[in-house]
Chain A
């Protein structure tokens, strides 16, 4: 039921078409002014998007409010970095006003109309993904990949997987992509590290990675627990009602006892 993206870093050729396509669908400025000049003002058809992104790829740079998907080079391996779309997302759990939502179909989406700008999501994300529009004065937003939730709602696949010329990133049902990833590892065990990154990390993510080199060499955090991070908070927060009730009773009891002691003292005083 839940969609996901499988990134096979052994297939990625570092063309950067996904980064460009992401910028086009999110109406973000392209790094190359020349490329921006080529961009038609009218909304592109999917075929037009493929053609444009593949001929104007962008590689490098860091994630920012203006780049929600980047292609990093680690040695001779290219790795896409974007939101992992966790199954039990940290950002969804920490946001005090519920500006984030894990949709049933997979994407983790952000609602700017609720956001107060506390940036706890950025602080808490184990992958360090969300970015902020620091330069905006009145209405800065948190920015991150939303797995083209709007396109998905129309039955289309995300722009980044659409434009990938070598199917290094593919879009599909998470269960099926996991099977596909297992197959690839089984068929070529010498080629792959025997691990599907994102299968179990922080309780599983809707973005999965395959790699030929250890994942820490790709800049992905490898010390993550397999328990979803919101549980770390919930284990404590869930005890709070009990703690408050117990503290209340205890304080009331102490108040009662010590107050009575005072009354007794008052009564005894005149006799002395």
Chain B
């Protein structure tokens, strides 16, 4: 098993190196030649891939962190504890990536911190900026025990554990605020955004779909980590996550389709436009199909089937955010926007860096501990490393449940 993994790893290393090289060149282009030279943004399309993909999708896909925190710490559904760490790590890396790409996106990156001192509480973006800055800190602190354990620093670990619960609550509140607020960003363009996507309920759609995609990304990350690093996650936990994802997506579909129906939006389906194609693709491929798949028991309980459903949910989510931020606005702008390769390179290379960091953490830190041995329903331990890491996980679990 280890033998056939090695060449695969070098291939991926080569791909990673290529992507990072493209990212490095794009970084140079962005910071030494300006936004005009490094992007296809224009006065008609002031927001593009970096907002649509990096911010909207980036923050949304990291929603697994607060969702799992709520499931385990608030609802006390202990059987999901084994995946709380990967969830929080994904959240932290996701938000760190959002912060990084924002440096590329804003015209004056040196002033990125200005919302801290120059306030406009009427602005949704002001609120989002604050929440993202606070949440990346919270997610970092929530994950830091894993690193501190590894380093064996006991004093800070003690302090952290004492404040962990309030921190987790704060993180959940911050997330409900800004996940929905990303949708609120677009409430201000009722005449610009196509009726397929404009709705007064945008904030609600954004948070519900973020919870759905957060779960999907968690399933995806667990599945791939199991394949690549032999990380051990009981399949039944993932199947339950899949069920939760199905319910969330069903809720999302109900809210969304009811709203579309009430606003008479389905009339636009008769127009063979780019928007109609994008809308149908998003809804059928990214909402209806995964729900159907997840409702079929045979598909849901098959690891590959569950994985496929998760990939579809993520695809639908990405399509939705890009439709809201780009496709839905093309009609008003009277033109189309397609990102320059340097924009794509920045997005892809930061994703690659985040994936690399995640993989690194899975290998060297105890990110994927199996369920507690004391709790009769443990999954089988498939790797020796996982067995070695049982102890810290148990200790942390005990401390938190005592708090």
Contacts and interface: CB of A to CB of B under 8 A. Distances in A.
B178 to A, nearest CB: 10
Interface stretch (B69-77, B223-231, B261-269, B276-284): B69-77
Contact of A230 (B44, B173, B188, B189): B188
A93 B108 contact: no
B44 A128 contact: yes
Contacts of B114: 97, 114, 116
B188 A90 contact: yes
A97 B115 contact: yes
Q: Give the dominant DSSP class at B's interface.
A: helix
Contacts of B200: 232, 235-236
A259 interface: yes
Of A64, A93, A94, A230, the most chain B CB neighbours within 10 A belong to: A94
A272 B112 CA distance: 60
A251 B37 CA distance: 48
Contact of B34 (A122, A137, A262): A137
B378 interface: no
B107 interface: yes
A119 B107 contact: yes
Contacts of A130: 43
Nearest to A259: B76
Of A116, A120, A221, the most chain B CB neighbours within 10 A belong to: A116
Interface in A69-102: 90, 93-99
Interface in B74-127: 74-76, 105-108, 111-112, 114-115, 118-120, 122-127
| Interface size class of chain B, counting residues whose CB lies under 8 Å from the partner chain | 35 or more
| Interface size class of chain A, counting residues whose CB lies under 8 Å from the partner chain | 35 or more
B172 interface: yes
Contacts of B34: 134-137, 140
20 contacts: A93-B123, A97-B114, A98-B123, A115-B108, A116-B111, A116-B114, A123-B46, A126-B189, A128-B332, A131-B43, A132-B46, A135-B36, A229-B188, A234-B122, A236-B203, A237-B122, A240-B177, A243-B176, A254-B74, A258-B75
Given A123-B189, A252-B169, 7 more contacts: A64-B43, A93-B123, A221-B191, A223-B191, A237-B127, A255-B76, A259-B76
Interface of B: 31-37, 41-44, 46-47, 70, 73-76, 105-108, 111-112, 114-115, 118-120, 122-129, 169, 172-173, 176-177, 181, 184-185, 187-192, 200, 203, 332, 401
What are the 7 A-B residue pairs with the smallest beta carbon separation, nearest first?
A: A117-B107, A134-B36, A122-B46, A96-B126, A258-B76, A98-B120, A119-B46
Interface of A: 63-64, 90, 93-99, 114-120, 122-124, 126, 128, 130-132, 134-140, 221, 223-225, 229-230, 232-237, 240, 243-244, 247-248, 251-252, 254-255, 258-259, 261-262
